Copies of this chain bind each other. A is one copy, B any other.
Amino acid sequence: MAITRADVERLASEYAAKHPREILRLALENVDNIAISFSGADDVILVDMASRLRKGVQVFSLDTGRLHPETYKFMELVRERYDIRFEAMFPDHAAVEKLVREKGMYSFFVDGHHECCGIRKVMPLRRKLATLDAWITGQRRDQSPGTRLAIEVIEDDKSFGTADRPLLKFNPLAHWTSAQVWEYIREFEVPYNELHARGYVSIGCEPCTRAILPNQHERAGRWWWEEETKKECGLHAGNPIKR
C-alpha cells in the first residue's frame, strides 16, 4: 500500500479540487485492497468512473433486507453492466430477529433509526471494512448541511480504522454538487435507479426513504420524522463537524 495515514492531509489538500476521476485513479492505483461502497443511488457514477479506469474493481452494497424492490433491481443491473466484483453485505440473523421480536418491524419510527441502522448497516459494514485497507464512498458536502459540510476527498477513517489497522476513506464526490452528478449521468448515459424517476433523490431503506417535493432538500426524503442534524446512519459517524 503506497498511501499511508501520513499522506492523507497533504493529498486531501492536493486533490481537493480535482475531478473525481483523478481521486479514484489515485485510490485504485495506490491501494490494492480497496472497495467502493455503493448505495444503489446516484453514487453509481463512482462505479462508472472506476470501471473506465480498471476491470474487476471491488464494489459492495449493504443489503439491509429492507431495500426497495427497485433498488435490488438496480443493483443487479449495475452488477451485470459493469466489469466489477459485486458483493452485498447482509445483516446477522440473530440481531435482526431479536430486534423484531422485541420491537416489531418499524421500531425506528418510535425510538429512532440508530438501533436498526446499527444492526442492518453498521455491523455488516464493519465486517466488510475489517477486510479492507481503504474504502471509497459517494458522500458529498451538499447532501447534508448538518453532517457532511466538512468532509474531505481523502480521510483517515478513525471510526472504522484503528491505531493498529488504519483505514483510508476516499470521498471523490465530496466537492461535487447534485447537479454535477446528474450531468455526468446524462452525459455518460449511466443507468440509474428508477426511483429517481419518481421523485426520489437520496435513497436508503424503503420504510425510511420517501420522494421529495419540488425544491425540497434531498435529505428531507430520509428519516423525515427526526431532526436534521441526526440524519446519518452511522456509516459516516466520524464526519468532522464544521463550525
Contact = CB atoms under 8 A, between A and B. Distances in A.
A106 B76 contact: yes
A224 interface: no
Contacts of A48: none
Contact of A214 (B63, B87, B105, B196): B196
A215 B88 CA distance: 29
Contacts of A124: 93
List 9 tightest A-B contacts by C-beta distance, closest first.
A199-B199, A65-B65, A90-B93, A182-B215, A76-B105, A90-B96, A88-B100, A179-B215, A201-B214
A89 B80 contact: no
A72 B207 contact: yes
Contact of A211 (B69, B183, B197): B197
Contacts of A66: 65, 72
Size range of the chain A interface in the assembly: 35 or more
A178 interface: yes
Nearest to A94: B90
Contacts of A199: 197-200, 211
A172 interface: no
Interface in A33-71: 42, 63, 65-66, 68-69
For this chain, the copies found in one complex come to 4
A173 B185 CA distance: 32
A87 B106 contact: no
Interface of A: 42, 63, 65-66, 68-69, 72-73, 75-76, 79-80, 86-93, 96-97, 100-101, 104-106, 124, 178-179, 181-183, 185, 192, 196-201, 206-207, 211, 213-216, 218
Contacts of A178: 214-215
A104 B215 CA distance: 31
A21 to B, nearest CB: 20
Given A76-B105, A87-B97, A196-B213, 17 more contacts: A63-B65, A63-B100, A66-B72, A80-B104, A86-B100, A86-B101, A88-B96, A88-B97, A88-B100, A88-B105, A90-B100, A91-B93, A93-B93, A93-B124, A182-B214, A197-B199, A201-B214
A7 to B, nearest CB: 32
A105 B93 contact: no
Q: Most chain-B Cβ atoms within 10 A of its Cβ — which of A87, A105, A198? A: A105
